């Protein structure tokens, strides 16, 4: 009975959520697009000519926003982007115009080979990660899972990111958060936490932004 009440409460909040309504009106697949939009407007992350990789991209709202932003900078009448967006996810994703999608685990060599083929010799300018692990409700276990997901994105950035590039990952306040921040500060010259308005107040989620890798490769 309590579970049913929780589901009804979540459904009520979701249906009446202004960002859900805005996403439906503007054609975004999820309200998460507005989290990235707010961070981008504050930190000027997405710029013409960039190579952008969206990790854990499905259902695709972050890639949609990135495409919209790059399309604004395109001078072509054929709608080609002034930049490249590559979305990766283990799950399938409905196609998005001008967005290259790779289905698979980015830790696997075969997936990295596809990515390398797409970007050539260039480094990635911006890595986005809205990935979130399946949470169990057990604090210690969940903290470890969250840290692991952040570590994966950080390791990927250390291998593939341009030295002046940026990494934006979803994280959660709680046990292990300070360790994740510490790792980011060891890797990036600039580290900041962002809590956009589109992120629900009762949610512990926070986004960590690292800019400019400290060590050249």
Active site residues: 170
Cβ atoms within 10 A of the Cβ of 66, count?
30
Rounded to an integer, what distance in angstroms lies between the CA atom of residue 191 and that of residue 39?
13
CA nearest to 106, candidates 132, 87, 134? 87
Indicate the SS3 state at residue 78.
coil
Indicate the SS3 state at residue 49.
coil
Q: Do 55 and 129 contact (CB within 8 A), yes or no?
A: yes
Rounded to an integer, what distance in angstroms lies between the CA atom of residue 211 and that of residue 102?
25
Cβ partners under 8 Å of residue 36, min gap 6: 61, 62, 65, 66, 128, 130, 168
Rounded to an integer, what distance in angstroms lies between the CA atom of residue 138 and that of residue 186?
28
Q: What are phi and psi of 22, to 5 degrees?
A: -65, -40
Q: Do 55 and 101 contact (CB within 8 A), yes or no?
A: no
């Amino acid at each position: 009975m309590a579970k049913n009440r929780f589901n009804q409460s979540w459904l009520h909040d979701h249906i009446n959520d202004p960002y859900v309504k805005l996403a439906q009106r503007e054609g975004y697949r999820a309200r998460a697009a507005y989290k990235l939009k707010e961070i981008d407007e504050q930190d000027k992350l997405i710029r013409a000519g960039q190579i952008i990789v969206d990790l854990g991209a499905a259902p695709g709202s972050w890639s949609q926003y990135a495409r919209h932003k790059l399309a604004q900078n395109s001078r072509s009448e054929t709608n080609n982007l002034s930049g490249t967006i590559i979305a990766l996810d283990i799950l399938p994703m409905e196609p998005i115009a001008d967005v290259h999608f790779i289905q698979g685990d980015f830790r696997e060599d075969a997936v990295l080979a596809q990515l390398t083929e797409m970007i050539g010799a260039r480094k990635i300018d911006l890595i986005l990660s809205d990935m979130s692990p399946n949470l169990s409700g057990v604090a210690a276990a969940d903290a470890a899972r969250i840290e692991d997901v952040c570590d994966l994105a950080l390791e990927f950035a250390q291998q593939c990111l341009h030295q002046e590039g940026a990494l934006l990952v979803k994280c959660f306040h709680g046990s292990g958060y300070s360790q994740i921040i510490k790792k980011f500060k060891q890797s990036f010259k600039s580290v900041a936490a962002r809590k956009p308005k589109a992120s629900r107040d009762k949610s512990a989620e926070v986004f960590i932004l690292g800019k400019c890798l400290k060590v050249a490769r």
